[in-house]
Amino acid sequence: MSLKLLFSTSSTATGGGRDGHVKSDSGRLDLDTRPPAELGGNGEGTNPEELFSAGYAACFLGAVHAVARAEHVSVPDDASVSVKVGFGKTEHGFGINAAITASLPGLDQSAAEDLVAKAHKLCPYSNATRGNIDVDLTTQV
């Protein structure tokens, strides 16, 4: 895939990775990372899966808005996207999956599902993960 770069950013992890610190070059992201309690950590920091789910949710909602603008559809003010990221073992090591729930109150179910399906084709996170991890889509109105 050829990419005409529009923006780039960088973050650096220090310490033990999952038990360390991450900071973006801009300084706007500056967080301790800790394994969640479910994985034996103290859970007093964020973790890569939380960061991924937050980025995916924000990006996907942006894609919903972009598709809606192109199709002259009004997205409700209380629209939201939640992304649940799971972490577990695979036959090759470890992996993740994602479950996206898009809530578009007030829209017709069929129209909302069409909008979400098109956003899934547009979203950079969806494009990066397509064929690499399981991603489930749910649309609520």
Residue type for 65, please?
Answer: H
Domain boundaries along the sequence of the chain: 10-46, 48-139
pLDDT confidence band for 2 (50 / 70 / 90): confident
When computed from its CA atoms, the radius of gyration of the chain, rounded to whole angstroms, is 17
- CB-side neighbour CA atoms (13 Å) of 121: 6
pLDDT of 57: 98
> What's the 3-state SS for the chain?
CCCCCCCCCCEEEEECCCCEEEEECCCCCEEEECCCHHHCCCCCCECHHHHHHHHHHHHHHHHHHHHHHHCCCCCCCCCEEEEEEEEEEECCEEEEEEEEEEECCCCCHHHHHHHHHHHHHHCHHHHHHCCCCCEEEEEEC
- CATH architecture for segment(s) 10-46: Single Sheet (2.20)
- Residue-wise pLDDT tens digits, 90-124: 999 999 999 999 999 999 999 999 999 999 999 99
pLDDT confidence of residue 94: 95
Q: How far apart are CA 108 and CA 69, in angstroms?
A: 17
Mean pLDDT of the chain: 96
Which H or E element spans position 13?
Answer: strand 11-15
**CATH number assigned to the domain covering 48-139:** 3.30.300.20
Q: pLDDT band for position 136 (50/70/90)?
A: very high
Whether 1 shows a pLDDT value over 80: the answer reads no
For residue 63, give both structure tokens. 């894609």
Tens-place pLDDT, residues 53-67: 999 999 999 999 999
